[in-house]
Amino acid sequence: MTLLELEGVTASYGPVQVLGGVSLSVPDGGAVGILGANGAGKTTTLRAISGTVRTGGRIVYDGRDIRGMRPDRVAALGIAHVPEGRGTLGALTVHENLRVGAYLRKDRKGIATDIDYCLALFPQLQNRIRSNGSALSGGEQQMLAIARAFMSRPRLLLLDEASLGLAPGTAKSVYEAIRRLRKESGIAMLVVEQNANLAFSLVDSATVLETGRTVLTGSSAELKGMDEIRRAYLGG
Ligand SMILES: Nc1ncnc2c1ncn2[C@@H]1O[C@H](COP(=O)(O)OP(=O)(O)OP(=O)(O)O)[C@@H](O)[C@H]1O
Ligand SMILES: [Mg+2]
C-alpha cells in the first residue's frame, strides 16, 4: 500500500518558485531516498509535505490530500519531520526534549517505555539525559532529534541530512540506529541524504531531483548500477 504520494508538486518562497514538479511515492513501511545536488529542492520537498512552504500539485497521505494543511495538523496525522540542522530545543534537557516529542500523546506508560527504547537505541543519550540540548555534540543532537521525532510515534519520518557535519564514524552509527529503528518499528521513511552510500544502506528506492523536478526514480540496486549515479553520488 502507498502511504505517501507526491504528484507534480510545486513550491515557492514568496514569488520564487523552486519546485517545478516533484513526484514520488513512499510505500507503507518503506524507505525512500531523495538525491540531488545542493539547491535541487530536497529540503523544500520535505517542507512541502510537512506544510511549511507554499505548495501546488497533489500530496496524498494515507488516502487524503494534505497539501496546504497546517504543520501541526500534518504532524497530528503521523508525519514527523527531523529538519536540516536538527531543531532540538537547546534550553531543554534531553529528557524534556523527548517529552516534547510526545506532547500529543496521553499514554503515560507508553511514553515511559518509548523513552527507554530511545535510550537503548542511542546509549550516548542515556549519560546526557539531564544535559541541555545545547550542551550536546553534533552527533548527540542528531540522535536526540531522531529520538524526539520517534516519541510522537509517527507512521512516516521525514529525515533531512542526518549525517551533515558528523565525523564518518558517528554518521555511520547514526544510520545503524536508523536502520534498527526502521526494522523494529516499521515506520516509513523519506530520507534526504548527501552521502549516497549511507542513503543506500537504508533505503529501498530513491528519486533524483534536478532543479526542483524529479528526473529519475528507481530501486537502490538499479540506481547503484547506473554510471551517472555512481559518478555524481558514489564517488566513482
Ligand atoms: N527560505 C528560503 N527562502 C528563499 N529561497 C529558499 C529558501 N530555502 C531554500 N531556498 C531556495 O530554494 C532552492 C531549493 O533549496 P533546498 O534547500 O530545497 O535545496 P536542497 O536540495 O535541500 O539543497 P542542500 O543540498 O544545499 O540542502 C534553492 O535555490 C534555495 O536557494
Ligand atoms: Mg537541504
Out of 60-69, 80-89, 155-164, which region has the weakest mean confidence (pLDDT)?
80-89
Atom 24 of ligand 1, residue of closest alpha carbon: 38
Mutate to test the pocket of ligand 1, among 6, 24, 43 (most ligand atoms within 8 A of CB): 43
CB-proximal residues (5 Å) to ion ligand 2: 42-43, 84
Q: For residues 40 and 22, what is the distance between their CA atoms, to the nearest angstrom? A: 11
| Residue 101 CA to ligand 1 centre (angstroms) | 26
pLDDT digits (tens, 9 = 90+) for 86-116: 777 888 999 999 999 999 999 999 999 999 9
User: Which of left, alpha, beta for 153 (phi over 0: left; psi -120 to 50: alpha)?
Assistant: left
3-state SS record for the chain: CEEEEEEEEEEEECCEEEEEEEEEEEECCCEEEEEECCCCCHHHHHHHHHCCCEEEEEEEECCEECCCCCHHHHHHCCEEEECCCCCCCCCCEHHHHHHHHCCCCCCHHHHHHHHHHHHHHCHHHHCCCCCEHHHCCHHHHHHHHHHHHHCCCCCEEEEECCCCCCCHHHHHHHHHHHHHHHHHHCCEEEEECCCHHHHHHHCCEEEEEECCEEEEEEEHHHHHCCHHHHHHHCCC
Which of 10, 16, 42, 233 is the best mutation target for the ligand 1 pocket, counting ligand atoms within 8 Å of the beta carbon and taking the most? 42
What number does CATH give the domain 2-89+155-233? Answer: 3.40.50.300
Question: What amino acid occupies position 126?
Answer: Q
pLDDT score of 236: 66
All three cell numbers of 166, joined, read 558528523
Predicted pLDDT at 87: 76
Measure 187 CA to ligand 1 centroid, in angstroms: 27
Enumerate residues lining ligand 1, CB below 6 A: 13, 18, 36, 38-44
pLDDT above 90: residue 206: yes
- Where are the chain's structural domains? 2-89+155-233
Please give the Cα distance from 166 to 122 (Å, whole number).
Answer: 15
* pLDDT tens figures, 148-174: 999 999 999 999 999 999 999 999 999
- Give the closest residue (by CA) to ligand 1 atom 4: 13
Residue owning grid cell 514520488: 24
| Residue 161 pLDDT | 96
